[in-house]
Amino acid sequence: MVNTTADSKPTKSSPQKDSVLDRIVKGATETTTPAEKVYVYEAPLRLWHWVNAICIVLLCVTGYLIASPPPSVYGEASDHFILGNIRMVHFAAGQVLAVAFLGRIYWAFVGNYHARQIFLLPVWSGKWWGEVWHEIKWYAFAARRPKKYVGHNPLAQLAMFFLLIVPLVLQILTGFALYAEGAGTNSWMHAMFGWVFGLFGNNSFAVHTYHHLFMWFIVVFSIIHIYAAVREDIMSRQSLISTMVSGWRYFKDDEK
Amino acid sequence: MADTFYELIRKQGVSRRSFMKFCSLTATSLGLSPAYVGQIARAMETKPRTPVVWLNGLECTCCSESFIRSGHPLVSDVVLSMLSLDYAHVLMASAGKQAEQILHDIREEHKGNYILAVEGNPPLNEDGMYCIIGGRPFVEQLKEMAADAKAVIAWGSCASNGCVQAAAPNPTRATPIHKVIRDKPIIKVPGCPPIAEVMTGVITYMLTFDRVPPLDRLGRPQMFYGQRIHDKCYRRPHFDAGQFAEAWDDEGSRKGYCLYKMGCRGPTTYNACSTVRWNEGVSFPIQSGHGCIGCSEEEFWDNGPFYDRLAKVNTPLGAEANADQIGLMASGVVGAAVAAHAGLSALKRARDKSASAKPEKVDEGAE
């Protein structure tokens, strides 16, 4: 097994001299590793990815149904519990997603470099921005050859931060704030999340509106994410989809 | 002035029996145990009455109108005795200079000891010239009276949230009073108007216990604003079951199903309508077949339209749409872009393949 990471190969600067910031930049930019495969995503991270994906699907579907419920049913109210069940799934999935997200943050601290990547954007690095631009050109068909990455490419990293991590945090906060409403304003949950309403002018209705808007950010992200994963799996120089299953990144240099 | 409430209302011909009834009702509406009835009665009998000064700014007087219709007849009697009738625009007898002089006297005589009840709010644009009381901007009168008050009650949505005159674009810059008075405890009693029994309940609590009732994060009394209308709505079982009125006068509407799809604001509105109800507990909007419009909530006029579940959002393009319409549109655009991009990618790949006559995969030794 070749268990090589991006910075294990000594390049111009010796690894000992690298500061934390240097390592962040290095891990997020082009790699020249000669390894055929690298172990990138550890098991907890992969687990989070798929749990998160399932929760997001459940939350989007049930959330949409809570706002726009299915056609009315008739008969005795006690014979049905449609909205009750939909809301139960929504709340359960929301709590799983929130706990998984906390676990994910924990893993960012104790996991390998790649567990931190989507939280840390090396915005101070010109090299990184240059590669963002290269990646944009690659998607605009203006660059012929993609660069090789062990982790996420810089553009993907940007998208994950702004279209996934930030909306997820906002969804968790607004979601728990809205959930706390049912518990009443003197509940411990309201004490914990009541301040969120203050961010939206203490307007509960506005918090609902934003909870919808943030969901659409995540939907848009998912469309792009799935498309880019499939596309890059075929067209880039590294594996993507199988990596999120096995954890191993395979490199395939199919052109000179 | 030194009269107690009890002496005053007895003077007005109210029987002791009616007085005790009032005390019991008050204890119940405040959510207190029966043991407190005696305490309330005792306070009413022994405490000198605290003057309550009622100011009116930019408002429609619906709070006053609601207040004087307080369900139990005795409530209004007691309230009339509690209030310093010397100053309350709607109810006082005096007018002109005489009235303003009275305000001045109360301030001197009861410095730091009177409760200021404010109905309406001050407009701040043009130095407050949009609301003149006794020849002066209301904001001056408000600040002056608040300076020597023990506590301030913000009656209704005008004083608490701004209400209709503060709705966009708010030309007079009508401002809720907590943004003008910052150094006094303010009890917000929002609603357009607030429920009569809630108003008398709050005032009775303050006079009886000589302290501000327990407030929530926004300064509203918890006993009346601790839960949403939706949480205690008698139509809630229909919501959980998935039974909705889909249109006015459809079967669901006739059967009294949940009005959620008709834009009911119950799930986002903190008020006591579904428990205390209106007009001596006869009914409340949802019971009468119309959704809640969220009148006690922040910016309720701007959260429109009243008959939609989602507010209209001003989009950069100027078109009005709600969050879901915007999101669906964005997803559609992104989806189409992705499809087009996929097509182009396939083309590029095919072209690259034919351009390089080499075999597609040369796995080893690329670098």
Closest C-alpha among A160, A56, A173, A148 to residue A115: A160
Residues of chain A with pLDDT under 50: 1-14, 254-256
**Cα–Cα distance measured from residue B26 to residue A197, given in angstroms and rounded to the nearest whole number:** 32
Q: Does B334 touch chain A (CB under 8 A)?
A: yes
Probe site for chain A from B179, B215, B227 (most A CB atoms < 10 A): B227
The total number of residues written for chain B in this structure? 367
Report the pLDDT value the prediction gives residue B152, as an integer from 0 to 100: 94
| B125, two tokens | 């644009």
Q: What sign does the dihedral B90-B224-B8-B134 (CA atoms) show?
A: negative
Q: Which residues of chain A lie closer than 8 angstroms to B228, CB-CB? A: 181-182
Cis status of the peptide bond prior to A69, with omega within 30 of 0: no
The CATH fold assigned to B5-225 is Rossmann fold (3.40.50)
Q: What sign does the dihedral B89-B91-B97-B102 (CA atoms) show?
A: negative
Task: Tell me the three state secondary structure of residue B193.
Answer: coil
Probe site for chain A from B292, B324, B353, B354 (most A CB atoms < 10 A): B324
Question: Cα angle at B233 between B232 and B236, to 5 degrees?
Answer: 105
Report the pLDDT value the prediction gives residue A81, as an integer from 0 to 100: 95
Q: Which residues of chain B lie closer than 8 angstroms to A204, CB-CB? A: 268-270, 297-298
Q: What sign does the dihedral B353-B354-B355-B359 (CA atoms) show?
A: positive
| B240: closest CA of chain A, how far (Å) | 5
| B255, two tokens | 């059967």
User: Position B122: which residue type?
Assistant: P
End-to-end CA distance of chain A: 26
DSSP characters over B292-346:
---TTSTTTTTS--TTSSS-EEE-TTS-EEEHHHHHHHHHHHHHHHHHHHHHHHH
Residues of chain B with pLDDT under 50: 1, 73, 360-367
Could you say which of A185, A219, A254 has the minimum Cβ distance to residue B222?
A185
Closest C-alpha among A151, A94, A102, A97 to residue A122: A151
- Domain ranges in chain B are 5-225, 321-355
pTM for this predicted structure: 0.83
**Structure confidence by residue, pLDDT tens digits, A50-72:** 999 999 999 999 999 999 999 99
User: Position A164: which residue type?
Assistant: L
DSSP characters over B26-87:
HHHHTT--THHHHHHHHHHHHSBPPPEEEEE-BS-SHHHHHHTT-SSHHHHHHHHHHS-TTS
Give strand pairing partners of B186.
B152
What's the longest Cα–Cα distance across chain B? 109
Report the pLDDT value the prediction gives residue A256, as an integer from 0 to 100: 39
DSSP characters over A101-168:
HHHHHHHHHHS-GGGTGGG---TT-HHHHHHHHHHHHHHTT--SS----SS--HHHHHHIIIIIIHHH
**Cα–Cα distance measured from residue B191 to residue B157, given in angstroms and rounded to the nearest whole number:** 5
| A216, two tokens | 């659409």
Question: Cα angle at B206 between B91 and B182, to 5 degrees?
Answer: 85
Q: Does B183 touch chain A (CB under 8 A)?
A: no
**Cα–Cα distance measured from residue B251 to residue A183, given in angstroms and rounded to the nearest whole number:** 32
Here the ipTM equals 0.83
What CATH number has the domain spanning A16-27+38-71+83-250?
Answer: 1.20.950.20
Could you say which of A83, A194, A223 has the minimum Cβ distance to residue B338?
A223
Report the pLDDT value the prediction gives residue B213, as an integer from 0 to 100: 92
The 10 Å Cβ neighbour count of residue B254 is 11
Could you say which of B251, B299, B348 has the minimum Cβ distance to residue A201?
B299
**Cα–Cα distance measured from residue B7 to residue A132, given in angstroms and rounded to the nearest whole number:** 81
| A182, two tokens | 């049912």
| B103: closest CA of chain A, how far (Å) | 34
Residue A141 and residue B344 in contact, taking contact as beta carbons nearer than 8 Å: yes
Report the pLDDT value the prediction gives residue B41, as an integer from 0 to 100: 85
Q: What sign does the dihedral A148-A149-A154-A157 (CA atoms) show?
A: positive
Report the pLDDT value the prediction gives residue B366, as an integer from 0 to 100: 37
Q: Does B249 touch chain A (CB under 8 A)?
A: no
Could you say which of A80, A181, A256 has the minimum Cβ distance to residue B243?
A80
Could you say which of A78, A204, A224 has the minimum Cβ distance to residue B338?
A224
Chain A stretch 106-165, residues whose beta carbon is closer than 8 A to a beta carbon of chain B: 139, 141, 144
Residue B166 and residue B132 in contact, taking contact as beta carbons nearer than 8 Å: no
Residue A244 and residue A46 in contact, taking contact as beta carbons nearer than 8 Å: yes
Residue A48 and residue A100 in contact, taking contact as beta carbons nearer than 8 Å: yes
**Cα–Cα distance measured from residue B30 to residue B211, given in angstroms and rounded to the nearest whole number:** 14
Report the pLDDT value the prediction gives residue A214, as an integer from 0 to 100: 93
Q: Closest residue of B to A63, CA-based?
A: B324
Identify each DSSP E strand in A8-132 by its residue range.
37-39
Which residues, including other chains, have CB under 8 Å from residue B6's CB and lie 6 or more apart?
B19, B44, B45, B46
Asked whether the beta carbons of residue A223 and residue B330 sit closer than 8 angstroms, the reply is no
Report the pLDDT value the prediction gives residue B78, as an integer from 0 to 100: 55
Residue A238 and residue A249 in contact, taking contact as beta carbons nearer than 8 Å: yes
Closest C-alpha among B266, B157, B216 to residue A195: B216
The 10 Å Cβ neighbour count of residue B247 is 11
Q: How far is CA B140 from CA A43, A121, A252, B91, in A?
A: 67, 52, 77, 22
Give strand pairing partners of A248.
A39
DSSP characters over B112-157:
TTEEEEEESB-B-GGGGTTSEETTEEHHHHHHHHHHTEEEEEEEHH
Residue B140 and residue B180 in contact, taking contact as beta carbons nearer than 8 Å: no
Q: Does B308 touch chain A (CB under 8 A)?
A: no
**Cα–Cα distance measured from residue A75 to residue B50, given in angstroms and rounded to the nearest whole number:** 55
